[in-house]
C-alpha cells in the first residue's frame, strides 16, 4: 500500500462528509457544538487546512508564508466545496510527481515555540492522513447527536472499487 492511496481514500471520505453536510441547515454546521474547533464547519476546515499546509507550505519549505485563514470566510457549502476541491487539486498535482526519493526527503516541521524537527516527507503525509481520521470520528459523533447517519467508507471497499 502506498501513502497516496490513503490520501485519496481521505479525499473520498471527505466528499462523503460534504454530501452529508448538504442535508443540514448551515446554522447547524456552524453552531458551536463543543468540538475541538467548535463547529463542524471549523473541524472540517481544519482537515483541509492541515492538508493544504503540508502539501503547499511545509513540504515545499514555504511554511513562513502560511497564514491561518479566518474560518468565517467560508460562509456556505459552496465556499467549503470550492476550498475542498482546490486542496484536492493541489494534492493530486503533488501526488502525480511523488517518488521514493521524495518520500524519503527530510523536511523541517515548525511547531510553535518548540525547536524545529526534521522528518521524512512520508511521515508528514502519514500524519496528515491520521489527523483526518481522528477528526472524522469527532464529526461522526456530532452528526449522530443530530440524528444523522455519519458517512462510512471502509478502506477495503475504496481500495477494491476505485477506478
Full set of structural domains in the chain with CATH: 3-150 (1.20.120.450)
Q: Given this model, what pLDDT does residue 1 score?
A: 66
Number of neighbours of residue 45 by Cβ within 10 angstroms = 21
pLDDT digits (tens, 9 = 90+) for 17-61: 999 999 999 999 999 999 999 999 999 999 999 999 999 999 999
Give the H/E segment covering residue 87: helix 77-96
Q: Given this model, what pLDDT does residue 45 score?
A: 97
Q: Is the pLDDT of residue 162 over 80?
A: no
Residue (of 159, 160, 115) closest to 7 by Cα position? 159
Say how many residues make up the chain: 163
pLDDT digits (tens, 9 = 90+) for 79-120: 999 999 999 999 999 999 999 999 999 999 987 777 788 999
CB 128 within 8 A of CB 135: no
Residue 90: phi and psi, rounded to 5, are -65, -40
Amino acid at each position: 500500500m502506498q501513502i497516496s492511496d490513503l490520501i485519496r481514500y481521505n479525499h473520498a471520505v471527505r466528499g462523503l462528509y460534504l454530501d452529508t453536510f448538504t442535508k443540514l441547515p448551515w446554522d447547524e454546521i456552524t453552531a458551536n457544538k463543543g468540538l475541538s474547533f467548535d463547529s463542524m464547519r471549523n473541524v472540517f476546515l481544519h482537515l483541509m487546512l492541515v492538508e493544504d499546509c503540508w502539501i503547499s507550505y511545509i513540504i515545499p519549505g514555504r511554511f513562513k508564508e502560511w497564514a491561518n485563514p479566518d474560518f468565517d470566510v467560508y460562509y456556505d457549502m459552496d465556499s467549503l466545496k470550492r476550498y475542498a476541491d482546490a486542496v484536492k487539486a493541489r494534492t493530486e498535482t503533488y501526488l502525480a510527481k511523488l517518488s521514493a526519493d521524495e518520500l524519503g526527503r527530510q523536511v523541517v516541521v515548525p511547531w510553535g515555540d518548540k525547536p524545529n524537527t526534521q522528518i521524512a516527507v512520508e511521515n508528514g503525509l502519514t500524519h496528515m492522513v491520521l489527523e483526518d481520521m481522528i477528526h472524522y470520528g469527532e464529526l461522526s459523533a456530532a452528526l449522530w447527536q443530530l440524528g444523522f447517519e455519519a458517512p462510512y467508507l471502509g478502506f477495503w471497499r475504496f481500495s477494491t472499487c476505485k477506478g
